[in-house]
Structure 1
């Protein structure tokens, strides 16, 4: 029986306050109805859905890292837990264990799966002040490392049709993407330089600096509420495109305006974790 995440607990309280029965809420989140009753009582008593302080070994990941692990495996469902563990730095400055990654996935009712031959989905997009770029739904993805998003696919399906036309209209913009393998390939650097795109220098292990991470969280929450749940790659693509356009521009602008605060927080923490 999975534990409810912080976001799911808040959603459960919202459903209860909207008039849903405890049994209906329990069925929606696939938990025992007693879990919902205890959550409701805790919220009435403490006005919060947070877990009570517990004894024992402290967690080695933050909630934001937990969301990152889950989102990584939603976007790349065939990635091994051991690879995610090696690529994720915990709160003590060391890579996570494979079992920690599996526990975080299990708490969100996910598990690592073996690759199979069949349709694969992958998507992305970009944001700016009063701007959306994309979205991009990658086609013909294969089982390669990184979810099959190679440098060639990144150029052909994201940069050439979406990014380059945008920067041709907005020459004063700065392009920001992280150090994913497909982004740092020499072919990518040469392509962006040849097309006059000014790229932000990106430090390693710094997801706190990227405001679009919060947009993906918002899109994931909205996708979780899609009924019926998409169960094919095509239905997931349609839901993603619909949800992408439903996110208010005011929400995106708040993320963009947060960049100076993000940079200041990362500098103040000497590259450590921040509230972002």
Structure 2
């Protein structure tokens, strides 16, 4: 398994000086793979020109491999202006800029559910995701669906329904048990076996629901059973990425090294 960091989860700093701190801290932990999300407070691909140059040059200096990019694609309602913007502009721009840093994997989300479900919405979601996968695949990309509460890919069953309906070879799944627990409040085993054939990427996130809100915690301090998740993946011979989402809220400076050390004991 490839232990991977997220650009905004390693160090609680979003300034123009943050990338050297982030990459050095990860290197000190033996990590040189990164998933691109927020850089200097901006989400991929909307970095300013100087941020892009720092990302490229420092990536070379530290021997970084960028494994995937997450622009927040399709985090919008089906009928919102944002959905049009994401489909026509954000998707092609994300693909083009990802290529400049050697990324060929794009993470997407399912659109947000309507307050009142309308006939035909599921088919529209399938069409949007299928079209995006086809566009990405033509450029040599694979696409990964990340589950998120409130979206059409919130619970294990709903993720499975979309993965089966889109049915593209280039379409896989980001298994985020923290987000799954927030959506269905069930142990990961409830959906793992059915989703296992589609898992291409894993987000490790621990937390617990307190006063009706999901609170993110360091590994081993929540109820989402990151230890069991890692053990299940090891037992099944998973060889893909394990992405550390170790930041609590507020983000403490010791979150990343504490959770990395805990993860190493499980690996």
| TM-score bin (small chain) | under 0.3
- TM-score between both structures, scaled by the size of structure 2: 0.26
* Rg (Cα) greater in structure: 1
Larger RCO, structure (CA 8 Å, separation 6 or more)? 2
Q: Point out the structure with the larger strand share.
A: 2
Q: Point out the structure with the larger helix share.
A: 1
- TM-score between both structures, scaled by the size of structure 1: 0.25
